[in-house]
Amino acid sequence: MKVTQYLHDVYTEMVQKVSWPTWKELQASALIVMIASLLIALVIFVMDFSFEKVMEMIYRMLV
């Protein structure tokens, strides 16, 4: 009995109380996520490349 009541409550909340984004809002949000992901990937790439060059310089000085 509790499971059926729970499922009924979930259905009611998803249909009547949740405000779903419009197609344009969804596209805008997806674009923001893609741009942010690319920027974060670029920052990580620059950090990795810089660290690699610094470590190469240090290794050259030690050898």
State CA 46 to chain mean position distance. 19
45: in domain: yes
Give the three-state DSSP class for 2: helix
48: in domain: yes
62: in domain: yes
Q: Which two tokens stand for residue 16?
A: 């009547």
Tens of pLDDT, residues 26-60: 999 999 999 999 999 999 999 999 999 999 999 99
pLDDT above 90 for 63:
no
pTM above 0.85, yes or no: no
In the chain, the number of structural domains is 1
Average pLDDT over every residue of 6-25: 94
Domain of residue 59: give its range. Answer: 20-63
49: in domain: yes
- Nearest to 59, CA basis, from 13, 51, 33: 51
5: in domain: no
Q: What is the rounded distance in angstroms from the CA atom of residue 46 to the CA atom of residue 7? A: 49
Q: Which two tokens stand for residue 54?
A: 């610094």
